[in-house]
Structure 1
Amino acid sequence: MTYRFKLRVYYEDTDLAGIVYYANYLRFIERARSEWVRSLGVDQVALKADAGMVFAVRRIEADYLAPAKFDDEVEVVTSVESVTGVRLVLKQDVTRAGQVLFSSIVTLVALNEQGAPARLPANFRRNLH
């Protein structure tokens, strides 16, 4: 399963040299993950309200390979690497015209209201295959 999310690099995303500030790649992949989860039919607001559960990033590995620049159209490509009852590992790349600019491996967990790890919702896990 691969999910693609397009976005435009705005001036606010860049540094004085006109290239994307490194931390903004994390914002880009977060937006893509939120839209990906929504596309799977999961309402994160309802999940928190009804089940007291939220998703959290536990770990991220990031490689900055080439710069994105002001006004570039980039695409975040998200794919599932692995899933268990409590953990989801995603590969998320930011690309421009097929060239990988930023590559990451993101480990997500579900947390309950007390902030302790919880099982990923079964309907969510089923939609990943």
Structure 2
Amino acid sequence: MHEFSLRVWYEDTDLAGIVYYANYLKFIERGRSDWVTACGIDQIALRDQQDIVFAVRRVEADYLRPAKFQDALTVTTTLTSVTGARIVLDQEVRRQDETLFRATVTLVCLTGAGQASRIPAEIRARLAPSLH
């Protein structure tokens, strides 16, 4: 499990002072990007050298409790499966021990032109130690 910390800024909230629902997707994107980097994958080099990018194919999300302005949050990212062309992750946004948001995210591997592509073996090997 990978952890990424962030703080809720005023711009993340709505008129009620709680995090606007779409911003949870931004929070988990930051957590995923940090996880990929922690796995030793340089996404810019992957794009520039192999013409491969990762794209979100599916998100199944549950909004459980609201986060508020100034809350310190932690995004957890757990790899649940990796196949030839897909990566499935479970992600949560927490305030201390309280889960506020939960999502299952499916990523696919694409060429720069948007065509489906297989995940290179060396990338799958870098992800394998994270598999739970």
Q: Distance in 2 between matches of 1:127 and 1:53?
A: 16
Q: Distance in 1 between matches of 2:123 and 2:5?
A: 23
Q: Residue 127 of structure 2 aligns to a residue in which SS?
A: coil
2:127 aligned partner, one-letter code: L
* CA drift at 1:77: 0.5
1:37 and 2:33 aligned: no
Cα deviation, 1:58-116, whole Å, max 9, x if unaligned, reads: 00000000000000000000001111011000000000111110000000011012211
Paired residues of 2:41 and 2:126 also in contact (CA < 8 A): no
Gaps of 5+ in 2: none
Q: Distance in 1 between matches of 2:70 and 2:47?
A: 35
Q: Distance in 2 between matches of 1:121 and 1:75?
A: 30
Cα deviation, 1:39-69, whole Å, max 9, x if unaligned, reads: 1111111111111111000000000000000
- Aligned equivalent of 1:81: 80
Q: Distance in 1 between matches of 2:120 and 2:78?
A: 18
Alignment of 1:98-113 (within 5 A): 98-113=97-112
Gaps of 5+ in 1: none
- Aligned equivalent of 1:127: 126
Runs of 4+ aligned residues of structure 1 deviating over 2 Å after TM superposition are none
Q: Distance in 2 between matches of 1:85 and 1:39?
A: 21
2:94 aligned partner, one-letter code: T
Alignment of 1:5-44 (within 5 A): 5-44=4-43
- Aligned equivalent of 1:49: 48
Q: Distance in 1 between matches of 2:32 and 2:22?
A: 16
Q: TM-score, normalised by structure 2?
A: 0.94
* CA drift at 1:127: 2.0
* CA drift at 1:126: 1.2
Q: Give the root-mean-square deviation of aligned CA atoms.
A: 0.8
Q: Distance in 2 between matches of 1:40 and 1:128?
A: 6
Q: Distance in 1 between matches of 2:98 and 2:30?
A: 20
